[in-house]
Structure 1
Amino acid sequence: MNKLLILSLIILFSGSLLANDSKIDLDAFAKLYFDKMVATQSPTATKKELEEYLALLTDDVGHSHLPWVTDDSRLPSGKSDMRKGMTFYLGAHTEYKAELLDVFAFNQSAIAIRYKDYAKGIHPQSNQPIEYSQTMMEVLEIEDGKVAVIRKYHE
């Protein structure tokens, strides 16, 4: 009986330790995400920076960027689709800078980051000059320590 009680307590105790291990510091994760995302926009960005950013996402990541991309459905090809789209624009900027303005963490399920960025370059499809400055909010849904859904909003 005592052995059964001790075994039960060990199982319960180890389960609580595992539950605590699954919690991440969302503030630190938000800053890491921002730094990796910004690195992909740099004029010198390569596939290395892109893969470091994509490593933070689930394979089936959903993504919306209103008003252009409105469907944030999670599909098995989510990360692959993002890789393809981001590779097309890789190195399109001749100038890029961004400043993280705010981070909001919501329990262990979501982060919102607000930032201001400036970009200048040549659009890879139209070959026309581009230049913009904007304030953005990204809401990131977190699942098992990775970004599962990205929703981008312009201020």
Structure 2
Amino acid sequence: MTYINPVYQYGIEAFVKDLAETSVKGLIIPDLPNEHADFITPYLKDSDIALVPLVSLTTGIERQKQLIDGAEGFIYAVAINGVTGKTGNYRDDLDKHLANLTAHADIPVLTGFGVSTEEDIKRFNAVSDGVIVGSKIVRDLHDGKEEDVTEFVKFGSHFEK
């Protein structure tokens, strides 16, 4: 995951080339609207790297359809209104939204943003194809809690679809 400005600064072609050399298979650029992705998608397609869309509860139905139809790799379902790393405060209609999104997509729907507990993993794994945990792991590693990270990853790895 990166933002668009570092990609521009690095150079689009060089950025994608270097990603491909590291075996990256998907790229998330949260501040890149789908309508403006044409400048990078040809390079990604040539390198077999998927541009992963973000879909949230506030994404309108028509826009969801557009994002699902054009998606490759997986769909990143955003669980919270806000930035990654923020936890809790999920909307009451989130599970229904995730189940609906998963039912209409022909590629995996993974839920992230705010996922930080074992209960979150159980909940979202039941209504989507999997979960993404990032900020909690980074925070725990920063705080020297390597054993907590190991246990958390072990817990999450027991879920199979």
Common fold: TM-score over 0.5:
no
Greater helix share, 1 or 2? Answer: 2
Normalization by structure 1: what TM-score? 0.24
Greater strand share, 1 or 2? Answer: 1
Q: Which has the higher contact order (CA 8 A, sep 6+)?
A: 1
Normalization by structure 2: what TM-score? 0.24
